């Protein structure tokens, strides 16, 4: 299927989705590739809103701060107007908090998560890498020693 050019002059009031358990963070998805999960979205984050837990993404995450101040408490990085942030696939980060109202442009080059995070719903999150996966990503089962006692 051939892609066509897309122009969205400004986000529609009806296109915003509020992410539960964040304190009011809203997402407007400009574009998503349903096959790969790659996407481009605008985040509107009120002061004090947050991602409450440490988490990992199933693809590379890119974030550009259009306005405001947004802190990744672990590892201790703050995005301010004009700042660019890149988090590599599988790298843990968060929790996060908005130090002031923020507008953030967020881009994923593949699926958003390995599994559905507690602060999202199927309606508020992009593609999950493997929806059937029950174990945590990269988690290994305990190995039994082959030595006899």
- Give the pLDDT confidence score for residue 3 in this predicted structure: 75
**Whether the predicted model's global pTM rises above the 0.85 cut:** no
Pick the closest to residue 39 from 49, 23, 28 (CA basis).
28
Which residues in 40-68 are b (16+ Cβ under 10 Å) and which e? bbbbbbeeebbbeeebbbbbbbebebeeb
- Give the pLDDT confidence score for residue 149 in this predicted structure: 36
- Give the pLDDT confidence score for residue 1 in this predicted structure: 62
Would you state the structure tokens that stand for residue 19, as one six-digit string?
């992410």
Q: What is the pLDDT along the chain (149 residues), one digit of tens a residue?
A: 677 888 888 888 899 999 999 999 999 999 999 999 999 999 999 999 999 999 999 999 999 999 999 999 988 999 999 999 999 999 999 999 999 999 999 999 999 999 998 888 888 888 888 754 443 443 333 333 333 33
């Amino acid at each position: 299927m051939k892609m066509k050019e897309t122009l969205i002059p400004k986000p529609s009031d009806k296109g915003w989705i509020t992410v539960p358990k964040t304190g009011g963070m809203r997402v407007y998805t400009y574009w998503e590739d349903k096959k790969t999960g790659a996407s481009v979205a605008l985040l509107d984050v009120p002061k004090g809103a947050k991602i409450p837990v440490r988490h990992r993404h199933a693809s590379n995450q890119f974030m550009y701060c259009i306005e405001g101040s947004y802190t990744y408490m672990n590892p201790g990085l703050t995005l301010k107007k004009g700042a660019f942030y890149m988090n590599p696939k599988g790298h843990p980060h968060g929790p996060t908090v908005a130090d002031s109202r923020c507008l953030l442009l967020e881009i994923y080059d593949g699926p958003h998560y390995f599994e559905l995070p507690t602060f999202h719903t199927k309606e508020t999150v992009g593609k999950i890498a493997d929806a059937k996966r029950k174990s945590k990503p990269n988690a290994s089962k305990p190995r039994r020693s082959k030595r006899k006692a």
